[in-house]
Amino acid sequence: MSEVIQRDTMLSYITGSVESSAESVAIRAINERGREDLEKTPFPTRKDEDWRFVDLKSITKSQFCKLEEANAAAVGDISEHYLPEAMNCRLVFVNGVYNEELSSVEDLPNNVIVGNLAANADNNSVKEHLGTITNYDDDVFAPFNDAAFTDGAFIYVPEETVVRTPIHILNVFTDAEKAFYATPRLLYVGEMFSKSTIIEEHIGLADNQYLNVPVTEFKMFTGSNVHHARIQRDSKKASHVSRPIAILDKNAEYHSYTICLGAKLFRNDPRVIQNAEEVNFTVDGLVLIDGDQIADTHSIMDHRFAHAGSHQLHKVVVNDSAHSVFNGKIFVAKDAQKIDSFQENRNLLLSENGKVNTKPQLEIFADDVLCSHGATIGQLQDEEVFYLQSRGLTEQKSRELLVYAFALESVESMEVESVEKLLLNEVIEYTNRDEK
Amino acid sequence: MLEIKNLHASVEGEDIEILKGVNLKVNAGEIHAIMGPNGSGKSTLAKVVSGHPEYEVTEGEILFNGEGITELDADERAHMGLFLAFQYPVEVPGITNKTLLREAYNTIARANDREELDPLEFEDYITEKLDVIEMKDQFLSRSINTGFSGGEKKKNEIFQMAVLNPVLSFLDETDSGLDIDALKVVSEGVNKIANDKNAIVMITHYQRLLNYIKPDHVHVMMGGKLIKSGGFELAEELEANGYDALEKELVLNGEAQ
């Protein structure tokens, strides 16, 4: 008899059991499925191809408890984080728990739903789509969210309806005595020819350690259109592992922009799956990291039918001994002709100890497609700095302006003015930290 | 205004001397031309005077209005009124001409205790300066030199010079790559900027720029030194006989190394 080597599972780093307390039968069923997946799936190590560049010790060297056991601080005034454009269209989750008092949803078009999942558990769209879109094989994080979530955000936009106000999903995390885990969840259902803008934010209010494992599911019916901005400003000690996925019917458009500023460890696996012909999508990213931050993006753009246009611009600035990983997969199935897909990964290294791994991965089985990719890693050119300096700008200001210019393109895609402003301030703050 | 005394300079960290004892004096109201073959050190001289970190001054000094500036950073020299029009202007995608120039103008103003201009005032000021190089105002909102033609890049350098209003400008091969129309516009721009309070040092390989901007003094640079100075007739002589003839003549006279 051979001895079976028992590998750790996700549950090895979780104290206590992940027992479901969800009231909804539908959610409990997903919890159950998640637990089964978790028990049989080993926790990744660097021997796994998808994890070989990532140091996971900020998770494996810790134990994370349920929020109830963490003695977390109450949330104070967080109004500085509200978006003026979305004053009446905001859902707030504190440490992953829905906070009705801080949320505000008013004046939405008829039949649009912006609310929490638990309260909408009987909604047909929730019953039909929740938990059906995530599709991460051999993964432990999506199943962990599946196993542990009891609530989340639910957005439903009916046919032919345009929501002009951006919808703000604000996840904040407070200080706590113990490291805890949170499993934010978002289900978006866009019916035929609907349109909206979603701003999904994760903000660490203190400097504490926690594990944030969000799952977002976007079901995009024919002709629907979404602009999805994700801004990650978790605590610098937090670990954030994201599983955002979208599935697109005919003529649907899904444009996502992920901004990574916070967290000690950030791992993001955005996936867009084409479910019919003629779709358009974007999977952009902007990463600004320093200190010993790790930011890893493993994306999949999955073209399964003909006539898709897709685009990915992933920009990264690395300072100090921070480490960025990018693995961009573009799949084109055998009969998915006339695909026009473009991927670009641009990295700016500001320090000697910073590290960048980049790997474009194109797997194309159709023969009439236009797919291209490019990856660059560079530093600020001395000649550029001198040019600006010779015009009177200080060296610091010159460097700041050049990093700002590098990041600008990504920030300008936000479409919501206050978010652009917020991000530009973050960029300036980031470049100023370089002053030391 | 500018006095360069026995200036020696090498590439930082390397032992190769490029400037081997340059002496030059420039007074207010003067236009100088430094001519010379490729590799004689002309561009290096311009970069060393403007404070390029790639070069190290190993001997001699640069006095600007009586003050030694070799230890100052490029931006500090710019604050004193030094300007370099680049031979190869750098492209900076994402930053508009206007953004750079307002930042530059106000930084220089602050350093000199002059009043800064707010965005509206600056808009008026800068729009006026567009006439100097006959450019349209879209030029202001384009990213610095990004996608510019060779001629537009050189015009942009002169435009920046007009906006920043420097005391002493080095124009490094501003004529290279310009067609005859662009050369005229650029030259007229420089002539409009030149007055009796500022000074200009043009660096060029050819005489053709000097037909449009008349220098008061012409210097010939070879082997890292200014080996001969004179008036406009020196430029004509060079154009007629070439640098080789001059070199031979100096060797015969025992003046060259």
**Interatomic CA distance for residues A317 and A293, integer angstroms:** 12
C-alpha A39/C-alpha B177 separation (Å) is 70
- Separation CA B152–CA B162 (nearest Å): 15
Q: Are strands B2-11 and B17-26 parallel, antiparallel or unpaired?
A: antiparallel
Average pLDDT over residues A65-91: 95
Q: Is-contact B170 B3, C-beta < 8 A? A: no
Measured between CA atoms, the residue of chain A closest to residue B104 is A392
Residue A375 lies in a domain: no
Chain-chain contact of B164 with A393 (C-beta, under 8 angstroms): no
Task: Give mean pLDDT, residues A405-433.
Answer: 87
Q: CA nearest B87 in A: which residue?
A: A387
Final residue of a structural domain among A234, A252, A269: A269
Within-domain flag for A114 = yes
Q: What pLDDT does residue A436 have?
A: 43
A395-411 vs B97-111: helix crossing angle, rounded to 10: 150
Average pLDDT over residues A260-283: 97
Residue A162: give the domain boundaries. Answer: 10-269
pLDDT at A93 > cutoff 80: yes
Using the beta-carbon criterion (under 8 Å), do A393 and B73 form an inter-chain contact? no
Q: Rounded CA gap, A93 and B167, in Å? A: 60
| Same domain flag for A265 and A401 | no
**How does the average pLDDT of chain A come out, rounded?**
93
Coil/strand/helix, residue A305: coil
| B95 to A401: CB separation less than 8 angstroms, yes or no | yes
Inside any domain, residue A178: yes
Q: Which residues of chain A neighbour B108 with C-beta distances below 8 Å?
A: 392
- Give the residue-averaged pLDDT of A299-304: 96
Is B75–A381 a contact, with Cβ atoms under 8 angstroms apart? no
Low-confidence ranges of chain B (pLDDT < 50): 256-257
Which of A223, A251, A269 lies at the terminal end of a domain, its last residue? A269
pTM over the 0.90 mark: no
In this prediction, residue A415 carries a pLDDT of 84
d(C-alpha A28, C-alpha A26), whole Å: 5
* A40 has pLDDT over 80: yes
Q: What distance in Å separates residue A274's CA from the closest CA in chain B?
A: 33
Pair A216, A81 in one domain:
yes
- Of A390, A394, A405, Cβ closest to residue B92: A405
A326 found inside a domain: no
Name the residue with higher pLDDT: A2 or B220. B220
What local confidence, expressed as pLDDT, does residue B254 receive? 62
Task: Determine the pLDDT at residue A4.
Answer: 58
Which of A381, A394, A408 lies at the smallest CB-CB distance from B94? A408
Chain A residue with minimal CA distance to B81?
Answer: A392
Of the candidate ranges A39-43, A89-93, A169-173, A295-299, the one whose mean pLDDT is the lowest: A39-43
Mean pLDDT value across residues A142-148: 96
- For residue A5, pLDDT beyond 70: no
Does A243 lie in the same domain as A121?
yes
Q: Provide the domain count of chain A.
A: 2
Are residues A395 and B100, on separate chains, in Cβ contact within 8 Å?
no
Q: Is residue A339 part of a domain?
A: no
Residue B228 lies in a domain: yes
Q: Which residues of B touch A382 (CB under 8 A)?
A: 53-54
Residue A381 confidence (pLDDT) above 90: no
Q: Predicted ipTM?
A: 0.94
In a domain, B257, yes or no: no
Q: Is residue A32 predicted with pLDDT exceeding 90?
A: yes
Residues of B in contact with A408 (CB under 8 A): 94
Inter-chain touch B95–A390, beta carbons under 8 Å: no
- Residue A260: strand, helix, or coil: strand
Partner-chain contact B75 A395, CB within 8 Å: yes
The answer to whether the Cβ–Cβ distance between B75 and A389 falls below 8 Å is: yes
Cα(A311)–Cα(A328) distance, rounded to whole angstroms?
A: 11
Residue of B nearest to A407 (CA): B94
Candidate from A387, A392, A409 with C-beta closest to B79: A392
Nearest neighbour of B94 by CB, restricted to A383, A398, A405: A405
Where do the DSSP E strands lie in A70-150?
A: 89-94, 97-105, 113-116
Q: What is the pLDDT of residue A2?
A: 53
What is the DSSP-derived secondary structure letter of residue A79? G
Examine the fold and report which residue of A252, A269, A286 is the final residue of a domain before the chain moves on.
A269
Domain that holds residue B59: 2-252
Give the number of domains in chain B: 1
CATH of the domain at B73: 3.40.50.300
Please tell me the distance in Å from B83's CA to the nearest CA on chain A.
7
